[in-house]
Structure 1
Amino acid sequence: MPTKKTSKPDLRLVAESEVYDLMRGPQTTADRVKQLQAEARALAIEQVEALEKILGEAAALADEIAKGGDAYPVGAREIASRLAEDLPAKAETIKAIVARLP
């Protein structure tokens, strides 16, 4: 029975990949600053996207309250009605701003 020859992976390919460069870290202070700025931008975008999602959820909840009838206080229904109208537009504006980022 012939033996199956296993080939070893070419580790030089890993050493030359971008992933390895990221794991190794920046070589200069300027590279480190660029990397940290890119990470900060990515985290900021994630947080803005989370806000957009929460605004959508808040708009849906406000709409439920606005349409909830006499179970809710009149002032709360009025504010909820305005929020239900305003929040989706605010969320869309935030979405458009994020979409324009490079």
Structure 2
Amino acid sequence: MSPKPPSKPDLRLVAESEVYDLMKPPATTAERVKRLQQEARALALEEVEGLERLLAEAAAKAREIAEGGDAYPVGAREIASRLAEDLPMKAETIKAIVSRSH
């Protein structure tokens, strides 16, 4: 008995999907503008999320320096301590703004 050949994919599912809609060219200038605006918003959201991650990383590094003892200059420890307190709140504020806008 010979093995059964693999079944062919149902391409109708792909043609009806949202992904396919994004791949086909827009029919009108208005549709193109709308798609470009959606892409710009998605990119902007990625950038803001990246900023949130960087602020969290900076807060963690600032906390390490603030708690680093005499190895770090007093002024640097004080500034790092303030940053360790402020940066997480700033990141949360940004997150709240983004969640309200979407």
TM class, shorter-length:
0.7 to 0.9
Offset of 1:14 from its aligned partner?
Answer: 3.5
CA deviation map 1:43-80 (0-9, x unaligned) = 00011011001101100110110011110011111110
Match of 2:38, SS state, is helix
1:75 matched to which residue of 2? 75
1:24 and 2:24 equivalent?
yes
* Alignment partners' CA distance in 2, 1:77 and 1:36: 45
Q: TM-score, normalised by structure 2?
A: 0.85
> Any stretches of 5+ residues in structure 2 without a counterpart?
none
For 1:98, the equivalent position in structure 2 comes to 98
Judged with a 3 Å threshold, the aligned counterparts in structure 2 of structure 1 residues 25 and 69 are, in CA distance, closer, same or farther, namely same
Identity of aligned residues (%): 78
Kindly state the Cα deviation for residue 8 of structure 1 after the two structures are TM-superposed: 4.8
Question: TM-score, normalization: structure 1?
Answer: 0.85
Equivalenced residues, count: 102
2:7, 2:88 → 1: CA distance? Answer: 57
Cα RMSD (Å): 2.0
Structure 1: where are the runs of 5+ without partners?
none
Q: 1:80 to 1:9 in 2, by over 3 A?
A: closer
Residues 29, 75 of structure 1: CA spacing in aligned structure 2 closer, same or farther, 3 A cutoff? Answer: same
Q: Secondary structure at the match of 1:27?
A: coil
* Aligned match of 1:62: 62
Q: Which amino acid aligns with 2:95?
A: K
* Deviations, residues 73-98 of structure 1 (Å, cap 9, x unaligned): 11111110110110010010011111
Q: Which amino acid aligns with 1:27?
A: A
